[in-house]
């Protein structure tokens, strides 16, 4: 297999759950050696979140491909010596222990970098390492609540949790990009650095549009189900065959094309209710009625063909099985096989494609699978 971008980089991860494992899996996908330190007994508690993947946890399979699992009781002298030896040869140390825990273990960033100046440390927490929420437990849904995401997600009648662990993903991706940045900086300075990422800050950054809308527009975004709260038309519209088609108009030029080429209602272009996007959004219910009256004469497939012909963005509402069978992914060969303790599995290739190289798609580790080999190598 061709060399990977992060070949030769060693990451030691004292991690559990989703955010930190998701960050380090991205590094593993780029060729880094990720040594995952797990507690004796059950290991990372995400191993027990579910049994959806042939008896294994879907969360764990998703976030831990390509790593080595080493079981250590780091409060015991012999196992702590193994961890210290690992850190002495590591490039990156990632953890998502509770704030203050690594310091009590003698693994704080200041202590480690005094010993290993080239080491990059990355701490992932819920609320950061200071402030009144420092020690508050933080799980994905709770961070969604604290950032205001749930207040703008769902139907007008009721908030709803997004269907994925979006706070953990946000935190993991900022940790990943921060580590890549620190590795690049180390090439110039020869020095490591200390990184910290809080889930509140990470998901809060993604709340930029709602924040600026309310802070300077004076009106909070309303929960609008599958409709866009600021753009119209943008959402699901019923067709004559009972199916729905999602479409989006992002500019006045596209609005003209929709009216003239799809709706065959050029007079709507000049309708004062729909003259620009803010007006269309203000009259969204009336605009929806106009659109669905026109769409009633079309099947979903026929309407999609018209929208495509007019250059109007559109989509079918697929379920997860429909996504797994997506013709675009199949045509681009975006699926790969990898091994696991429960047998061969199939998963998406990493989103970043490196020209001329295919992601390694290395196995998901069994708990403690690499403990003895790592002990022999590092001690």
In tens, the pLDDT along 61-88 reads 999 999 999 999 999 999 999 999 999 9
Q: Which residues pair with 159 in a beta bridge?
A: 154
Q: Which two tokens stand for residue 291?
A: 């659109």
Looking at the structure, tell me whether residues 239 and 199 fall in a common domain. no
Looking at the structure, tell me whether residues 256 and 366 fall in a common domain. no
Interatomic CA distance for residues 357 and 323, integer angstroms: 25
Looking at the structure, tell me whether residues 239 and 274 fall in a common domain. yes
What pLDDT, on the 0 to 100 scale, is given for residue 188? 96
What pLDDT, on the 0 to 100 scale, is given for residue 1? 67
- Backbone angles phi and psi of 213, in degrees to 5: -60, -45
Q: Which of 218, 217, 213, 224 is nearest to 285 (CA)?
A: 224
Interatomic CA distance for residues 351 and 110, integer angstroms: 34
Average pLDDT of the chain is 94
Number of domains making up the chain: 2
Can you say whether the dihedral through the CA atoms of 204, 205, 206, 212 is positive or negative? positive
Q: Which two tokens stand for residue 251?
A: 């500019």
Looking at the structure, tell me whether residues 177 and 268 fall in a common domain. no
Range of the domain at 96: 10-207+355-378
Does some domain include residue 107? yes
CATH number for the domain harbouring residue 29: 3.40.50.10540
Does some domain include residue 186? yes
Looking at the structure, tell me whether residues 153 and 103 fall in a common domain. yes
Final residue of a structural domain among 264, 297, 317: 317
Looking at the structure, tell me whether residues 75 and 192 fall in a common domain. yes
What pLDDT, on the 0 to 100 scale, is given for residue 100? 87
Interatomic CA distance for residues 160 and 158, integer angstroms: 7
Looking at the structure, tell me whether residues 292 and 143 fall in a common domain. no
Q: Which residues of the chain have pLDDT under 70?
A: 1
CB-based contacts of 310-313 (< 8 A; 24+ apart in sequence) = 310/257, 310/258, 310/261, 310/262, 311/254, 311/257, 312/247, 312/248, 312/249, 312/254, 312/257, 312/258, 312/262, 313/247, 313/248, 313/249, 313/250, 313/254
pLDDT tens, residue by residue, 207-265: 999 999 999 988 888 888 888 888 999 999 999 999 999 999 999 999 999 999 999 99
Looking at the structure, tell me whether residues 87 and 172 fall in a common domain. yes
pTM beyond 0.75: the answer is yes
Looking at the structure, tell me whether residues 199 and 244 fall in a common domain. no
> Locate tokens 């993903």: which residue?
169
Is 283 designated active site? no
Please report which residue ranges of 10-107 form alpha helices under DSSP H.
19-29, 58-63, 77-88, 101-104
Cβ atoms 235, 228 nearer than 8 A? yes
What pLDDT, on the 0 to 100 scale, is given for residue 166? 96
Does some domain include residue 324? no
Does some domain include residue 3? no
Does some domain include residue 347? no
Question: Of 228, 283, 326, 370, which one is the catalytic site residue?
Answer: 228
Does some domain include residue 219? no
Looking at the structure, tell me whether residues 188 and 240 fall in a common domain. no
Cβ atoms 33, 362 nearer than 8 A? no
Interatomic CA distance for residues 307 and 244, integer angstroms: 13
Does some domain include residue 37? yes
CATH number for the domain harbouring residue 253: 3.30.1540.10
Interatomic CA distance for residues 202 and 172, integer angstroms: 9
Looking at the structure, tell me whether residues 21 and 167 fall in a common domain. yes
Final residue of a structural domain among 296, 317, 338: 317
The angle, 0 to 180 degrees and rounded to 10, between the axes of the packed helices 77-88 and 371-378 is: 70
Looking at the structure, tell me whether residues 174 and 49 fall in a common domain. yes
Does some domain include residue 339? no
């Amino acid at each position: 297999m061709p060399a990977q971008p992060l070949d030769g980089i060693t990451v030691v991860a004292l991690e559990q759950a989703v955010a930190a494992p998701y960050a380090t899996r991205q590094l593993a996908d780029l060729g880094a050696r990720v040594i995952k330190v797990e507690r004796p007994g059950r290991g990372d508690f995400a191993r027990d979140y579910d049994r959806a993947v042939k008896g294994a946890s879907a969360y764990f399979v998703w976030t831990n491909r390509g790593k080595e699992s080493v079981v250590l009781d780091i409060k015991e002298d012999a196992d702590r010596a193994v961890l210290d030896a690992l850190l002495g040869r590591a490039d990156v140390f990632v953890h998502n222990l509770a704030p203050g825990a690594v310091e009590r273990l003698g693994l704080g960033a200041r202590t480690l970098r005094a010993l290993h100046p080239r080491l990059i440390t990355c701490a992932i927490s819920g609320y950061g390492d200071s402030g009144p929420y420092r020690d508050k437990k933080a799980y994905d849904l709770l961070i969604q609540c604290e950032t205001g995401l749930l207040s703008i997600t769902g139907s007008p009648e009721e908030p709803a949790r997004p269907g994925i662990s979006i706070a953990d993903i946000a935190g993991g991706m900022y940790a990943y990009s921060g580590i890549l940045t620190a590795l690049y900086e180390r090439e110039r300075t020869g020095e490591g650095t200390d990184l910290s990422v809080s889930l509140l800050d990470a998901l809060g950054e993604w709340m930029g549009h709602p924040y600026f809308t309310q802070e300077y527009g004076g009106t909070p975004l309303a929960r609008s189900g599958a409709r866009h709260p600021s753009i119209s038309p943008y959402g699901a519209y019923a067709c004559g065959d009972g199916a729905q088609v999602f479409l989006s108009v992002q500019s006045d030029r596209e609005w003209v094309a929709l009216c003239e080429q799809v709706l065959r209602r050029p007079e709507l272009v000049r309708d004062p209710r729909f003259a620009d996007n803010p007006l269309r959004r203000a009259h969204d219910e009336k605009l929806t009625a106009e659109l669905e009256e026109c769409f009633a004469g079309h099947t979903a497939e026929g309407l999609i063909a018209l929208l495509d012909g007019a250059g109007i963005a559109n989509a079918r509402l697929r379920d997860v099985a429909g996504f797994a069978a997506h013709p675009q992914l199949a045509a681009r060969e975006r699926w790969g096989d990898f091994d696991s303790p429960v047998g061969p599995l199939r998963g998406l290739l990493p989103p970043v494609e490196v020209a001329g190289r295919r992601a390694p798609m290395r196995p998901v580790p069994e708990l403690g699978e690499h403990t003895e080999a790592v002990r022999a190598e590092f001690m």
